[in-house]
Structure 1
Amino acid sequence: MADTHFDVIIIGSGPGGYVAAIRAAQLGLKTAIVEKQHLGGICLNWGCIPTKALLRSAEIYHYMRHAKDYGLSAEKVSYDPTAVVQRSRGVSKRLNEGVGFLMKKNKITVIWGEASVDAPGKITVKTSDPRIKTEPPKGVLGEGSYQAKHIVVATGARPRVLPGLEQDGKLVWTYFEAMVAPKIPKSLLVVGSGAIGIEFASFFRTMGAEVTVVEVLPQILPVEDAEIAALARKQFEKQGIRIMTSTKVTKLDRKADSVVATIDAGDGKPVAAEFERVISAVGVVGNIENLGLEKLGVKTDRGCIVIDGYGRTNVPGIYAIGDVAGPPMLAHKAEHEGVICIEAIKDLKPHPMDRSLIPGCTYCHPQIASVGLTEAKAKAAGKDIRVGRFPFAGNGKAIALGEDQGLVKVIFDSKTGQLLGAHMIGAEVTELIQGYVVAMNLETTEQELMHTIFPHPTLSEMMKEAVLDAYGRALNM
């Protein structure tokens, strides 16, 4: 008979859940993880990873179409949308299998099904999968009652649905349907200009769709620094993406193979426009339902579980990490939160989560990356600041790459030299931002960054030049 008693049970195997399980196993805790559909969760299967595979295909297609810019020639350039999607799904499958391997390697028991928390320390798992009901694979358990002193909820989030914008799988998509599009639509409306909306707008535009983005707020990419967002908008519009800010989609009329959207810019003159397909990218909401949390009195707020800096809820023995525990809803935040939660359970006294040090990345073209305070937020906090900027046009590597459009921006506290925020737009900035994250985590000052030798020729040199610029010392501008 299978053992049903554990030290830790984690509900959900996304980046937060599976990383927390591995850390628990490393620390000698007897660990189980409950999953109802895919090891690796949304990120590996329907989010971060497969979208990057799609965007990589779009990037290569873009370079092939612009081969002349590099002294090359490529004739009759085309693509197979089915093959593009198949590659993306193959990447996900490989990583999904990798998580399964990690569970076995770390001797973590996988329980297949949907969990509900009956009481602190006790869960019930139900499954509709007949394979698990009849003959569970080795090392995998199914329906039943399980006990653990510590229960970690890591159930992630799902697309937010607005009334009238409900997805139907054919005409109106969420990121699930957009990721496996059978063909590239001739025209596409993207509702919402956060990271998900902008990434899909960038992908489909590169692949040839006529794309319109509608954003209810005055700025696209609302969490980003206003200067970076303005540069992004300029680049997107140059690529042919139509962007409408301070605008709402108030109605969708679905026809046989198209959608007529009523678009209201607040001027009292709503207009109707027809699109082949619509992507609703208006955010996500935590998966807190059907877990038994209400009856236990677990505190929630705006669709997410309320936690402290260590993943603890208001009910002893019940924890939450990742998207279900609130923004920013990012995989790397979930992973770090999972490690903190487990180390706190083991009383290793980890540092609590510092949300000001969580970087954000958007993998559109051009890429966008940021960490810390925007210029507006630094001013609103009453900080006396110094701002430094360095353009890609002043960097030799960027020019050699043919990627001379972009900007690196840094914000310092003028009194202490503390780096308060960093914001970038341009080629490969998602790979550069970690340098500033490390600097902020180490409480590095402007002097230490100025004394650091950056290799030449690299894009990273712009990071130092931006710091120098904040203090009137830029060398190549």
Structure 2
Amino acid sequence: MSETYDVIIIGAGPGGYVTAIRAAQLGFKTAVVDREHLGGICLNWGCIPTKALLRSAEIFHYMQHAGDYGLSAKDVSFDIAAVVKRSRGVSGRLNGGVGMLLKKNKVDVIWGEAAIDAPGRVTVKETARAPAPKGAKGAGSYTATHIIVATGARPRALPGIEPDKQKIWTYYEAMVPEKMPKSLLVMGSGAIGIEFASFYRTMGAEVTVIELLPQILPVEDAEIAAIARKRFEKQGIRILTGAKVTKVEKGADSVTATVEDDKDGSQTLTAEKLISAVGVVGNIENLGLERLGVAIERGIVVTDGLGRTNVPGIYAIGDVAGPPMLAHKAEHEGVLCIETIKGLPTHPMDKAKIPGCTYCQPQIASVGLTEAKAREQGFAIKVGRFPFAGNGKAIALGEPDGLIKTIFDAGTGQLLGAHMVGAEVTELIQGYVVAMNLETTEEDLMHTVFPHPTLSEMMHESVLDAYGKVIHS
């Protein structure tokens, strides 16, 4: 089979399928190639199904604490198989939705494993990873003027601690447990590690988090991370920072990790399972990129900020094009790439304005510079804070623990960063993201009327606090 397209996108994850749809909207004859599942890791094994699991855990938590709300719930329990089934059902529904969107926009799906033979030519081989969607094209040689690599990433494996799907899990296995482990070690305290630690602890497992760096949630503001740590420890999660797993031994029904740190020396920890959550690496192998001379540095395809590589006609977006490795970054990056190809006016994405969210209990959300980074970059800053305990809606919700923190350039009033920990902050952060993109100053924010009673009022109060005008604290 051989067919010619204007654009072929390799990878049907969030970056790939969104780019394909936008390409079709712009009048390009478009195809997207995938070997396993429409929607990619995010929809099938990452963002979406984990949120379904965490929602089940949240409801379970509220049922256990029904008395706090004047309610009664007796003999509260869960069926882990049903929890997993619901999560997979949510994923399956959205997977089908992606297929419908591609069909609606007349994007061809090519099923198989792709390699770029030369600029403009892609060979697709058969794969047995998953059945092909109805109507998908198969193996063959395809040509396109523009080839966009959007192959995503996979879990990083450390030497000697390679996942085995039995005792040592990645997020794949952690998402579909056949039974609930009584104890769990989580190696890594980024978003993936902390979300699973939160889920399994809420569902009753004994959880220990092991982090190499001095701070959990290393990319977050130190003050926010410290508050989150206290909440996690209050929930019963044991946290070891500045600690390294040096060896793992597997027993018949357990795994034992040797952990070393400067404070306590060496210790051994035993649990039923260990989740390796030490980051991800881009899927750049077997695509033909290096053979074609596409520049790659430290496992990342080098682009110009608009998806273009050093080889004309070959582009890269999403996780393979570097951090932050987030679905929403991949989607926007793909749109910028295809609009640049079309000749529309575009400019590189400002990565400092990309929000990050962690859906643990409590939630964490941020955008822009941390306080430490702002000082490192030489800014004279004003910092505002407002606690959840001062907000009527938070108290009514039974969620009085949390903080909203804002960081401004003292000279210009520019919003440099915003950081939150507490209930529903992943839904609040977009307000600050919009403000930063519109180059809103502190004066604009202070004169904005926020509705009452809402959690968003705390965003207003945090701004006021930075300038000595806070009302409710």
What is the TM-score of this pair, normalised by structure 1?
Answer: 0.98
For the pair 1:469 / 2:459, whether they are aligned, the reply is no
Counterpart among 223, 229, 244 of residue 240 in structure 2: 244
Q: Take 1:391 and 1:73, find their aligned partners in 2: how far apart are those partners? A: 29
For the pair 1:37 / 2:33, whether they are aligned, the reply is no
For 1:452, the aligned partner's letter is T
Q: Take 1:15 and 1:44, find their aligned partners in 2: how far apart are those partners? A: 8
Whether the 8 Å contact between 2:121 and 2:142 is mirrored in structure 1 is yes
Change (3 A) 1:402 1:5: same
Change (3 A) 1:123 1:384: same
Alignment of 1:95-134 (within 5 A): 95-129=94-128
In structure 2, the partner of 1:218 is 214
SS at match of 2:384: strand
Q: Take 2:146 and 2:330, find their aligned partners in 1: how far apart are those partners? A: 18
- Cα distance, 1:300 vs structure 2: 1.0
- Cα distance, 1:397 vs structure 2: 0.2
For 1:57, the aligned partner's letter is S
Q: Take 2:276 and 2:430, find their aligned partners in 1: how far apart are those partners? A: 30
Alignment of 1:39-438 (within 5 A): 39-129=38-128, 139-267=135-263, 269-438=265-434
For the pair 1:447 / 2:443, whether they are aligned, the reply is yes
For 1:99, the aligned partner's letter is V
- Cα distance, 1:139 vs structure 2: 3.6
SS at match of 1:294: coil
- Cα distance, 1:269 vs structure 2: 2.9
What's the CA shift string for 1:58-102, capped at 9, x where partnerless?
000000000000000000000000000000000000000000000
SS at match of 1:4: strand
Q: Take 1:304 and 1:128, find their aligned partners in 2: how far apart are those partners? A: 25
Q: Take 1:434 and 1:160, find their aligned partners in 2: how far apart are those partners? A: 30
For 1:199, the aligned partner's letter is E
What's the CA shift string for 1:166-213, capped at 9, x where partnerless?
111110000000000111111100000000000000000000000000
Change (3 A) 1:326 1:15: same
Q: Take 1:131 and 1:406, find their aligned partners in 2: how far apart are those partners? A: 43
- Cα distance, 1:130 vs structure 2: 10
For 2:349, the aligned partner's letter is M
SS at match of 1:142: coil
Q: Take 1:27 and 1:8, find their aligned partners in 2: how far apart are those partners? A: 11
- Cα distance, 1:474 vs structure 2: 0.3
SS at match of 1:33: strand
- Cα distance, 1:143 vs structure 2: 0.7
Whether the 8 Å contact between 2:35 and 2:127 is mirrored in structure 1 is no
- Cα distance, 1:141 vs structure 2: 0.8
Whether the 8 Å contact between 2:354 and 2:367 is mirrored in structure 1 is yes
What's the CA shift string for 1:353-409, capped at 9, x where partnerless?
110010000000000000000000000000000000000000000000000000000
- Cα distance, 1:272 vs structure 2: 1.3
Provide structure 1 residue ranges, at least 5 long, that are not aligned to the other structure: none
What's the CA shift string for 1:442-473, capped at 9, x where partnerless?
00000000111000000000001000000000
For 2:70, the aligned partner's letter is G
Q: Take 2:431 and 2:347, find their aligned partners in 1: how far apart are those partners? A: 20
In structure 1, the partner of 2:16 is 17
- Cα distance, 1:268 vs structure 2: 7.3
What's the CA shift string for 1:96-137, capped at 9, x where partnerless?
0000000100000000000000111111000134998xxx77
Change (3 A) 1:393 1:346: same
Q: Take 2:297 and 2:216, find their aligned partners in 1: how far apart are those partners? A: 26
Q: Take 2:113 and 2:56, find their aligned partners in 1: how far apart are those partners? A: 35
What is the TM-score of this pair, normalised by structure 2?
Answer: 0.99
For 2:250, the aligned partner's letter is R
- Cα distance, 1:165 vs structure 2: 1.2
Change (3 A) 1:213 1:321: same
For 1:197, the aligned partner's letter is G
SS at match of 2:454: coil
Q: Take 1:297 and 1:331, find their aligned partners in 2: how far apart are those partners? A: 27
SS at match of 1:339: helix
Q: Take 2:401 and 2:13, find their aligned partners in 1: how far apart are those partners? A: 35
SS at match of 1:221: coil
SS at match of 1:270: strand
SS at match of 1:189: strand
Q: Take 2:360 and 2:330, find their aligned partners in 1: how far apart are those partners? A: 22
- Cα distance, 1:304 vs structure 2: 1.4
- Cα distance, 1:257 vs structure 2: 1.1
SS at match of 2:290: helix
SS at match of 2:265: coil
What's the CA shift string for 1:316-372, capped at 9, x where partnerless?
110001111111000000000010000000010112111001000000000000000
For 1:302, the aligned partner's letter is R
RMSD: 1.2
Whether the 8 Å contact between 2:37 and 2:130 is mirrored in structure 1 is no
Q: Take 2:436 and 2:177, find their aligned partners in 1: how far apart are those partners? A: 40
Q: Take 1:248 and 1:23, find their aligned partners in 2: how far apart are those partners? A: 44
For 2:171, the aligned partner's letter is Y
- Cα distance, 1:138 vs structure 2: 5.8
Provide structure 2 residue ranges, at least 5 long, that are not aligned to the other structure: none
